[in-house]
């Protein structure tokens, strides 16, 4: 099947009400990435030094050599930055989620003990802080398994959350397939948690951030001063607070690194932001495990039969009647490049309409002729399709007086004799009175105009029928 895997729809125009505890407008997730001791280094068996996320502008890997300055900057994160952040968060009693590179946690027992003593959530950030984009799937699967094993050995419990960061196209699927994690965060595609179906696994995804993230102190374009970081966090919070006040609460992830935000001039911006939130109110500071538990309890996943995953036989069976007595429309639509965006009523209506619009004039005319007269003989004989029966009943066309029925029959006959196909209108958009008025107006149109109008109404009817079946 010609299928497109990316999901551009998400929650669409009507995201769910998050229902954060205490009526909070924004759920704030403070994430501290702990990578010091897990980065690329020949001491760790790697072929080169690290070159990512440091204060060395334009850093490049040094093949086969230790990079003393790079190591020193990472060491600062462990020796000084971590403890500055630890004091800040524990003094304010703020929950934190640690993205802990497992090999880094193994080399930093005092910091790990401090995380656990503070009650922070320690999630897995992979076995090593390296790039996974070219890693063979089997090797990445093995590293995930080893990270889980070592994390359990180090902390006393297996990790319940995961974020690789420098991930591959396989990472989310591979972590979900373990069945190990309450949440996975290797996406950046939403302001709310959502569920992803991976085989039989319903995996909760907590999207992360690369912009409300102190990594931009080490990338271009990025932050130069703590004030810039504060202003961006403040603007984000104020916008999300306003949306939450309007009934659309969101989640706000803030990404931090010990060797970056742990510097005095940078952490000042974070402190200003925390002060701002305290003064403004409306926030629920939560570890990601708490956000995941809340979402699972209040927004459990419900699987649906997805059009993009159906066989052509099932697809035609399910949607063959959307265009009246014209299953060929559905059969041809199945061959289009369908994906998650077409698993909704609007998306699938768009796919079916493409087939109808590009069909030959005779094929389109056959669809028009397949529609029954309004309040006609088929209706009287109860021989309409279930869809047409319900539609005509919605405008009380099944309960006409004798005079009204005679008028409909007169108009049906006159319209069909003039144009060669039945009068078609999206009944559910109308009342009996507006249908009769449209009948009178459209009867006077030329056939070319009416052909175009009738085809547009057929598409509208299809959309309404699909909304009875799909989100």
For residue 195, which of 291, 299, 326, 63 has the smallest C-alpha distance?
A: 299
Crossing angle of helices 109-117 and 137-155, in 10° steps, is: 70
Q: Which of these is catalytic: 67, 125, 371, 419?
A: 371
The four Cα atoms 397, 402, 405, 410 give a dihedral, to 10 degrees, of -170
Q: List the beta bridge partners of residue 280.
A: none
Spatial CB neighbours of 384, under 8 Å, sequence gap ≥ 6:
372, 378, 392
Instruction: Dig out the tokens for 45 from the structure.
Output: 């068996």
Place of tokens 């060395």: 56
Residue 155: asked if its preceding bond is cis (omega within 30°), the reply is: no
Spatial CB neighbours of 340, under 8 Å, sequence gap ≥ 6:
5, 6, 7, 8, 9, 306, 308
The whole-angstrom separation of Cα 249 and Cα 229 is: 23
Query: Is 371 a known active-site residue?
Result: yes
The whole-angstrom separation of Cα 56 and Cα 39 is: 15
DSSP per residue over 367-402, as a string? Answer: HHHHSPPTT-HHHHTT-S-HHHHHHHHHTTTTS--H
What 3-state class would DSSP assign to 338? strand
Question: Distances in Å between the alpha carbon of 199 and those of 89, 257, 342?
Answer: 39, 34, 19
Instruction: Dig out the tokens for 158 from the structure.
Output: 């297996």
What 3-state class would DSSP assign to 341? helix
Crossing angle of helices 447-467 and 361-370, in 10° steps, is: 60
Is residue 416 within 8 A of residue 427, CB to CB? The reply is no
The whole-angstrom separation of Cα 28 and Cα 284 is: 6
Q: Which residues are catalytic?
A: 371
């Amino acid at each position: 099947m010609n299928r497109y895997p990316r999901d551009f729809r998400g929650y669409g125009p009507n995201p769910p009400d998050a229902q954060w505890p205490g009526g909070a407008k924004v759920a704030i997730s403070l994430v501290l990435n702990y990578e010091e001791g897990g980065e690329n280094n020949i001491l760790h068996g790697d072929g080169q030094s690290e070159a990512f996320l440091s204060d060395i502008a334009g850093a490049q890997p040094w093949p086969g050599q230790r990079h003393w300055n790079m190591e020193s900057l990472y060491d600062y994160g462990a020796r000084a930055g971590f403890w500055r952040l630890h004091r800040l968060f524990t003094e304010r009693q703020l929950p934190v989620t640690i993205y802990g590179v497992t090999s880094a946690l193994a080399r930093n027992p005092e910091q790990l003990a401090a995380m656990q003593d503070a009650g922070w959530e320690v999630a897995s950030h992979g076995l090593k802080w390296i790039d996974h984009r070219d890693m063979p799937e089997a090797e990445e699967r093995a590293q995930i398994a080893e990270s889980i094993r070592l994390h359990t050995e180090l902390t006393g419990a297996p990790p319940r959350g995961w974020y690789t960061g420098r991930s591959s196209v396989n990472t989310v699927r591979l972590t979900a397939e373990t069945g190990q994690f309450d949440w996975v965060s290797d996406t950046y595609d939403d302001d709310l948690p959502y569920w992803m179906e991976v085989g039989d696994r319903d995996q909760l995804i907590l999207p992360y951030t690369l912009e409300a993230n102190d990594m931009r102190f080490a990338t271009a374009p990025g932050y130069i001063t703590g004030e810039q970081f504060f202003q961006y966090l403040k603007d984000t919070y104020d916008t999300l607070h306003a949306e939450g006040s309007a009934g659309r609460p969101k989640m706000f992830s803030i990404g931090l690194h010990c060797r970056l935000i742990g510097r005095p001039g940078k952490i000042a911006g974070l402190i200003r932001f925390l002060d701002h939130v305290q003064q403004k109110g409306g926030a629920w500071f939560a570890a990601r495990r708490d956000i995941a538990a809340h979402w699972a309890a209040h927004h459990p996943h419900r699987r649906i039969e997805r059009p993009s995953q159906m066989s052509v036989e099932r697809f035609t069976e399910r949607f063959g009647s959307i265009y009246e007595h014209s299953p060929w429309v559905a059969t041809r639509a199945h061959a289009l490049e369908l994906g998650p965006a077409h698993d909704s009523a609007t998306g699938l209506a768009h796919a079916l309409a493409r087939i109808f619009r590009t069909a030959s004039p005779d094929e389109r005319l056959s669809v028009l002729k397949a529609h029954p007269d309004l309040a006609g003989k088929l209706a009287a004989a109860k021989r309409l399709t279930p869809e047409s029966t319900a539609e005509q009943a919605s405008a009380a066309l099944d309960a006409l007086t004798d005079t009204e029925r005679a008028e409909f029959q007169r108009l049906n006959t006159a319209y069909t004799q003039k144009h060669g196909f039945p009068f078609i209108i999206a009944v559910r958009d109308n009342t009996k009175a507006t249908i009769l008025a449209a009948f009178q107006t459209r009867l006077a149109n030329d056939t070319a105009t009416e052909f175009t109008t009738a085809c547009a109404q057929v598409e509208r009817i299809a959309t309404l029928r699909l909304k009875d079946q799909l989100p």
